[in-house]
Amino acid sequence: DSGVTQTPKHLITATGQRVTLRCSPRSGDLSVYWYQQSLDQGLQFLIQYYNGEERAKGNILERFSAQQFPDLHSELNLSSLELGDSALYFCASSVGGPGQGRNTIYFGEGSWLTVV
Amino acid sequence: AQTVTQSQPEMSVQEAETVTLSCTYDTSESNYYLFWYKQPPSRQMILVIRQEAYKQQNATENRFSVNFQKAAKSFSLKISDSQLGDTAMYFCAFIAYTSGTYKYIFGTGTRLKVLA
């Protein structure tokens, strides 16, 4: 158990709909990362937050948005869903942002999204 | 730009034997960290081993060890006494602090199958 909690574990929804994926980082971790992994694909970095602020953006679609709340949990919002958005969405967390030492990231178990 | 390359999409090894997974990276940063993550069929991402670039000594975690060649920008993973439970996708990852934030870059993965 990495200590990173993601909900829901599985989600099936229709095209055009909107879903929200939730992530609670490990206790003490200030950074949260979101990754997308399609079937048999590598990890696509979506976005990173540190202590509530957006720190880095990757290949995140405009239909997707995220935020990190004062209690450090994070949500990834996916809207106008398409079939191609079906994937495993990982949340990961690490201790620190800029100026910190080790920044090992620990992954949650992922949220399986199926768009039908 | 930083890149991580895993040139072996698939590998197999007999149980109890040793296998080495290759990873090369490219960066102009001097301070960075390297990781290997394992993704078994359950799809959970599990940290296997990590290496700080400033350390010359190769990291070791039980049956897992790395061969870190900084000048060659190579970071291979050696698995000794392979077990069936080692069957997984293995991702090499690189982390560097650049442009005000830590950037995490993953390779495309090597699928390892341990044969009984």
Which residues 14-73 on chain B approach chain A with CB closer than 8 angstroms?
A: 33, 35, 37, 43-47, 50, 52
- B50 vs A103: CB contact, 8 Å cut-off? no
pLDDT value at position A8? 97
Which residue of chain B comes nearest to A107, CA vs CA? B45
A89's tokens? 């969405």
Size of interface A-B (CB pairs under 8 A): 54
Contacts of the segment B73-77: beta carbons below 8 A, 24+ positions apart: B73/B24, B73/B25, B73/B26, B73/B27, B74/B22, B74/B23, B74/B24, B75/B23, B75/B24, B75/B25, B75/B34, B75/B36, B75/B51, B76/B20, B76/B21, B76/B22, B76/B23, B77/B20, B77/B21, B77/B23, B77/B36, B77/B48, B77/B49
pLDDT above 60: residue B116: yes
pLDDT at A102: 54
Q: Which of B52, B100, B106 sits opposite A42 (nearest CB)?
A: B106
Residue B43 burial (CB count, 10 A): 15
SS3 A33: strand
The bridge status of strand B110-115 relative to strand B10-14 is: parallel
For A28-70, what is each residue's pLDDT tens digit? Answer: 899 999 999 987 678 898 999 989 999 888 889 999 999 999 9
pLDDT at A98 over 60: no
Q: What is the pLDDT of residues B8-29, one digit of tens each?
A: 999 999 999 999 999 999 988 8
Q: What is the number of other CB atoms lying within 10 angstroms of the CB of residue B51? A: 19
Taking the mean position of all CA atoms in its chain, how far away is CA A91? 4
Q: Which A residues 95-114 touch B at CB under 8 Å?
A: 97-98, 102-107, 109-110
- pLDDT at position A99 over 60: no
Q: What is the mean pLDDT of residues A80-104?
A: 82
Query: Residue A7: which H helix or E strand, with range?
Result: strand A5-7
Q: Is A10 on the interface with B (CB under 8 A)?
A: no
From the list B43, B91, B104, the residue facing A45 with the nearest CB is B104
Shortest distance between the Cα of A81 and any Cα of chain B, in A, equals 23
Which residues of chain A lie closer than 8 angstroms to B45, CB-CB? 43, 90, 92, 107, 110
- Which residue shows structure tokens 């990231």? A105
